[in-house]
Structure 1
Amino acid sequence: MTPAPSRDHVSGPSTALDRGFGTLTQASPPPVPRCGLERVCWSAEIPRQLRLLQWGGGRPRGQAGLRCHLERSACGRRGQASRGAHAGRSAARTWASLAATAPSRAGLTARGGSHSTSHVLRRSLGAQRPGHQDRDHRVLSVSGPRRAGLRRRGHGWTGRGARRGAWTGNLLDLDTFSKSDPMVVLYTQSRASQEWREFGRTEVIDNTLNPDFVRKFVLDYFFEEKQNLRFDVYNVDSRTNISKPKDFLGQAFLALGEVIGGQGSRVERPLKGVPGKKCGTILLTAEELSNCRDIATMQLCANKLDKKDFFGKSDPFLVFYRSNEDGTFTICHKTEVVKNTLNPVWQPFSIPVRALCNGDYDRTVKIDVYDWDRDGSHDFIGEFTTSYRELSKAQNQFTVYEVLNPRKKCKKKKYLNSGTVTLLSFSVDSEFTFVDYIKGGTQLNFTVAIDFTASNGNPLQPTSLHYMSPYQLSAYAMALKAVGEIIQDYDSDKLFPAYGFGAKLPPEGRISHQFPLNNNDEDPNCAGIEGVLESYFQSLRTVQLYGPTYFAPVINQVARTAAKISDGSQYYVLLIITDGVISDMTQTKEAIVSASSLPMSIIIVGVGPAMFEAMEELDGDDVRVSSRGRFAERDIVQFVPFRDYVDRSGNQVLSMARLAKDVLAEIPEQLLSYMRTRDIQPRPSPTANSSPTPAPQ
């Protein structure tokens, strides 16, 4: 086990003496348990009526506070030592709170748990895919519900007031003379090795079956990845090892996307893992950190830059770099080139704060000044460094930076600088993010269309792209499972329309380019991704693969449904899996252009060895798709050939993860582009008192 994060110092038993709890005789402290907790409960002898059950406490990042639970041996009544004042939390980081909690099975009772805990999730900027700008990197936290109408009385909660945090409810009671002392351990799973690794731990809440935690976990959230989480709950007795089976109170498995996609980004899950026992529940809530939505807008100019062109002045431009944890730098922005001047004034530009400094306001930002050359061998003029915090000061005054060339500075004793750069203006605004819309209730509706043309080969033969091997999934099934398992977390009803095209249907042998895989024309919905796969396998046994390959009918079908929704509550994602050359290119282009004004995105996955030049044309990354002189309003198509993501070692899980990461990466920005063009703002998040999304049946 990885040791728990460092915890604040807490006073020893002498503090209890100072507070008048009687004379305590301190016994030899037990060894520190292997769980890594720094706070150790001490055994103590209590004269006559008073017996010290437990002590510990304090909160993360605060002053140490003693909390003693006492029991009167004579009458059995309990008292509780007053806690030390909790110091203010550190202001160095801005957490938009996020919490992990768990209510009791019967709902919130009048007497809840004792302290609150939050779990927080954080993501940092990763490497950019060539040709793409920084993806939407956001920091999240997971925390518990705000229990309105509760106030402290004794060591329960009742009455009025409000509190937020995370709590687990109706836990198993493993202590003989008191209640359990629970702690939650969070594990994350590696997609490559499938191994679980400890990520962090909450504090220990003593003597309660309904703990409400405080500590947050900060995790990185990626929409395009399946991020599996495991929450293990333990009863921590300082005189035992938490690895012993008797200390295990239960566990819950779920994906981070399930938390984000839950109603109000809140989900409730039962704790399981103890045979024959009801372990209680855990409630998780996710929120996005505030600096993930900030957009910085700035304008710069330069004065007296070095002359680099022989027959004229310089053609300067700026390159911004964000510093990384390992000391390297990552490019995050380039300005335009201002031709033939030593005193350029660049146009104002905007950049996400997360891209500029990864949420760390004091992180170094390096800015290089270059002279543009046509052949790409741009001449280095000089550089200077700053930080987001320093840049933000320009909201009230101009800031001037000296541009220095290290080589010139070393060679010339009288060298001063290679010019100056002045920050003329700097402002910060907030924008709505993908998580804002999901948290406000926007649902992602997933539709599947599968190619049943004869070019795929006989499904009964191992050479067929549809071959149903008992040992591994076909490329079609892998693509469907990879994309669907991620998107389904953002669809509350988990019902997905699934169609096939290019087949002859029994009994008449009619050719269809849009038939429901479940053979139900009135309701083509399948229950979950497993239901889609089951219907797909059943269709392979009943239909005859034929042709040709038409995309337009199924695109138009989804577009008709999407056209009925214009309030931002629904967004449609169509996955088309195909093996060959499209036969209705003109009609498909027209369908895409029409669909580009609707809340809709299209993912095309090409399987097999074919050359997919036509699909690249539909992608529209370089040239926007057009039809009859009309261009698509937005880029809504993403195409990838499946063969580019097949793992050489044959690891299907890794292959599916790679595929999903690439094809889904553009969905958040495509959704945002639709909302912006329609001026649709996210709906308010459901209140903390509303019911969280329950576990799927």
Structure 2
Amino acid sequence: DDGDLRKPNPLLEFVPVSEQLDRTERIKNCQDPEFSKKLLVDYYFEKVQKLRFGVYDIDNKSAELSDDDFLGGMECTLGQIVSSSVFTRPLELKEGKPAGKGTITITAEEIKDTRVVNLEIQARNLDKKDFLGKSDPFLELYKQSDAGMWQLVYRSEVIKNNLSPCWRRFSVPLQTFCGGDLNKPIKVQCSDHDSDGSHDLIGVFETNLAQLQKAVDGCPVEFECIHPEKKQKKKSYKNSGIISIKSCKVGRLLFVVYLSLMAGIEPWSTTSSGNKTELVKYYRISPSHFFLLPFFPRDKLFPAFGFGAQVPPSWQVSHEFALNFNPDNPYCQGIQGIVDAYRQILPQIRLYGPTNFSPIINHVARFAAHSAQQRTASQYFVLLIITDGEITDLDQTRQAIVNASKLPMSIIIVGVGEADFKAMEFLDGDNGVLKSLTGEPAARDIVQFVPFRQFRNAPREALSQVVLAEVPKQLVSYYKLQGWPPVKLPEIKKM
């Protein structure tokens, strides 16, 4: 609100940094708009996709936004949005300059199921709301969130001066409509459209997809449209009209994958001579080292382990100790939790060589083996190893990788520092199939090695893209190895 006595006519613009992606509908005379248009964006696992959102007050029919008032905007990445169930930021006129009290809230859902709900809806005998006419009815469909809040999933067109309207056939992604849950509450609200934005409620009812699906061509399902205040005040009140679901059909398909991240960190380098250990160097780890993980939610729980140290109280050398010193619950809260745990354990341990990878690989492989025993393609593990040392158990690591190549897991190794990483490149398998010491070949390539030093002066998203580039094809190769089709969600059947 910039002091103008009238209400704005907001429109939301979705803009990648390089080009305009899409626009919402314009909502007239409204300071708290809820846009119904959904933006579908392809999410690239290995890339950082920057987005800019702009809100404009539209006062003319020109397609050029330069002719309209800019109310504020916000920049973020697609990864930030998909990592949050609800993403809210203040609107800014420009970076660092708030637009006032305005905020923008974005909710995002992964389309795990590409089926759509196709609906045809009509009404009859709706209440008359206009003094000099009938009503200008439109529909709004809401789903109930897990927190009990109503979220707008669709808004129909307005049909002028008609008490028995028939709205256009429309489609809503099943995921958006009800999250795939046939019994999730759906609220259907019918209102009379007013140009000043003060729409009058005609009536409302609640249902679910299971009930809606009973509607087929020639056999509609009907609901009474109820105005709560009228029902409460008038004993003779029946309804404010009938909403008829002419047809409700659900299209079919497709497929979902779950990734679990586990981290192993060796943030030091040592050389050993007998019982004497000389600390050569260690690097400081920070959240920026994890910028290469845009796919994984930053507030999720991740199991994290350290290796290459003597750990209290026994002071035995360990290559798979929980970074939070809690072996029964090695999970850290998000990326920052991993960094905090790392910093806290440094003063409490004795840095000690050598650099062994096989224990941590075998540790994660046990989780993957348990998942594989379920005989479903529902979970895939990604082990991220951050190290600045040369590998000293190469033969054991080769065998561990060959064994793990039969399991639902991938291994990403990021080498930090100036050490000789030729052994890591050998494990990568890009120059030939990796074999164990006995000659057993890996069932598939599951290792990706990236030297951090090559990306010191490169954009951070370049590191992300290279690190994650092979994970999708490695995942697909595992499912092909098992002869499993993609995961299909249960068939939605009529009740």
Could you say whether these structures have the same fold, taking a TM-score greater than 0.5 normalized by the shorter chain as the test? yes
Give the match's secondary structure for 2:291.
Answer: helix
- Note the C-alpha offset of 1:520: 1.4
Residues in 2 aligned to 1:189 and 1:635: alpha-carbon distance in whole angstroms = 35
Task: Name the aligned partner's letter for residue 447 of structure 2.
Answer: V
> 2:441 aligned to 607, 631, 634, which one?
631
* Alignment CA distance shift 1:174-1:287 (3 Å): farther
Partner residue of 1:223?
A: 45
> Is 1:204 paired with 2:26?
yes
1:617-643 per-position Cα deviation (integer Å, ceiling 9, x unaligned): 211122212223322111100112222
Q: Indicate the larger mover: 207-216 or 497-506.
A: 207-216
Could you tell me which amino acid in structure 2 is paired with residue 557 of structure 1? H
The 1-side partners of 2:310 and 2:319 are apart by 9
The aligned counterpart of 2:315 is 509
**What is residue 188 of structure 1 aligned with on the other side?**
16
CA distance in 1, matches of 2:465, 2:337: 23
Aligned to 1:619: 428
Who is 2:292 aligned against? 483
Among 282, 285, 289, the alignment partner of 2:106 is 282
Q: Distance in 1 between matches of 2:447 and 2:44?
A: 20
1:662 partner letter: V
Instruction: Give 5+ residue unaligned stretches, structure 2.
Output: 92-97, 115-252, 273-278
**What does 1:160-559 correspond to in 2, within 5 Å?**
176=5, 180-189=8-17, 201-208=23-30, 209-212=32-35, 214=37, 221-238=43-60, 248=71, 254-257=76-79, 267-270=85-88, 272-273=90-91, 277=101, 279=103, 281-284=105-108, 437=255, 440=256, 442-455=257-270, 466-467=282-283, 474=284, 476-477=285-286, 480-484=289-293, 486-489=294-297, 494-559=300-365
Change (3 A) 1:189 1:504: farther
Please state how far the C-alpha of 1:182 moved relative to its aligned partner: 1.4
Q: What do the CA deviations read for 1:148-170 (whole angstroms, capped 9, x no partner)? A: xxxxxxxxxxxxxxxxxxxxxxx
Relative to structure 1, the CA distance from residue 623 to residue 584 in structure 2 (aligned partners, 3 Å threshold; closer, same or farther) is same
**What's the TM-score, normalizing by structure 1?**
0.42
Letter in 2 for 1:183: L
Cα distance in 1, alignment partners of residues 479 and 83 from structure 2: 18
**CA displacement at 1:560 relative to structure 2:** 0.7
Structure 1, 674-683 or 253-262: larger mean CA deviation: 253-262
Change (3 A) 1:244 1:539: farther
Work out whether 1:609 is the aligned partner of 2:418.
yes
1:664 partner amino acid: L
Three-state SS of the structure 1 residue aligned to 2:329 is coil
Q: 1:284 to 1:608 in 2, by over 3 A?
A: closer
Deviations, residues 252-306 of structure 1 (Å, cap 9, x unaligned): 65532455677xxxx5433533788574633345669x9xxxxxxxxxxxxxxxx
CA–CA distance in 1 between the matches of 2:35 and 2:456? 45
Report deviation, 1:233.
2.6
User: Structure 1 stretches of 5 or more lacking a match?
Assistant: 1-171, 191-196, 291-431, 458-462, 468-473, 648-653, 688-697
Q: Measure, in 2, the Cα distance between the counterparts of 1:223 and 1:285.
A: 15
Once residues 245 and 544 of structure 1 are traced to their aligned partners in structure 2, the CA distance between those partners, rounded to angstroms, is 63
How far apart are residue 174 of structure 1 and its match?
Answer: 8.1
Offset at residue 529 of structure 1 (A): 0.7
Structure 2 residue matching 1:674: 3-state secondary structure: helix
Find the aligned partners of 2:393 and 2:89 in 1 and give their Cα distance. Answer: 52
- Structure 1 distance, partners of 2:288, 2:87, is 28
Matched ranges for 1:653-692 at <5 A: 654-678=458-482, 679-684=484-489
Please say if residues 174 and 180 of structure 1, whose CA atoms lie closer than 8 Å, have aligned partners that are also in contact. Answer: no
Displacement after TM superposition at 1:243 (Å): 8.8
Rounded to whole Å, the distance in 1 between the matches of 2:332 and 2:377 is 24
CA distance 1:259–1:618, shift in 2 (3 Å) = same
The 3-state SS of whatever aligns with 1:488 is coil
Please report the RMSD computed on the Cα atoms of aligned residues, expressed in angstroms: 4.0
- CA spacing shift, 1:494–1:279, aligned 2, 3 Å: same
SS at match of 1:561: helix
Give how far 1:579 is off: 2.2
| 1:448–1:575 Cα contact (<8 Å) kept | yes
Counterpart of 1:643?
Answer: 453
Structure 1 residues 222, 686: closer, same or farther in 2, change over 3 A? farther
Q: Relative contact order (C-alpha < 8 Å, sep 6+): which is higher? A: 2
Which one-letter code corresponds to 1:281 in the other structure? T
The residue identity in structure 2 corresponding to 1:575 is: L
Contact 2:286 2:339 (8 Å CA) reproduced: yes
C-alpha distance in 2 between matches for 1:465 and 1:568? 42
| Counterpart-to-counterpart distance in 2, 1:176 and 1:235 | 14
Given that 1:608 and 1:643 are in contact with CA atoms closer than 8 Å, whether structure 2 keeps it comes out as yes
The verdict on how the C-alpha distance between 1:665 and 1:479 changes in structure 2, with shifts beyond 3 A counting, is farther
Work out the CA distance in 2 between the residues paired with 1:173 and 1:479.
Answer: 38
TM-score (norm 2): 0.58
Post-superposition offset of 1:526: 0.8
Aligned residues with identical type, % of pairs: 41
Cα pair 1:456 1:465 within 8 Å, conserved? no
Give 1:128-143 correspondences, 5 Å limit: none
- Counterparts of 1:173 and 1:602 in 2: how far apart (Å)? 53
Do 2:269 and 2:280's aligned partners in 1 also have CA atoms closer than 8 Å? no
AA aligned to 2:295 is I
Q: Provide, for residues 448-474 of structure 1, a one-character-per-residue CA deviation record: whole Å limited to 9, x for no partner.
A: 1112554389xxxxx96534xxxxxx4
The whole-number CA distance in structure 1 between the counterparts of 2:4 and 2:339 is 47
Mapped partners of 1:645, 1:601: distance in 2? 22
Q: What is the CA-CA distance between 1:221 and the residue it aligns to?
A: 4.2
> What displacement does 1:501 show?
0.7
Distance 1:684 1:175, change over 3 A: farther
Sort the Cα spacing of 1:617 and 1:450 in 2 relative to 1 into closer, same or farther, 3 A.
Answer: same
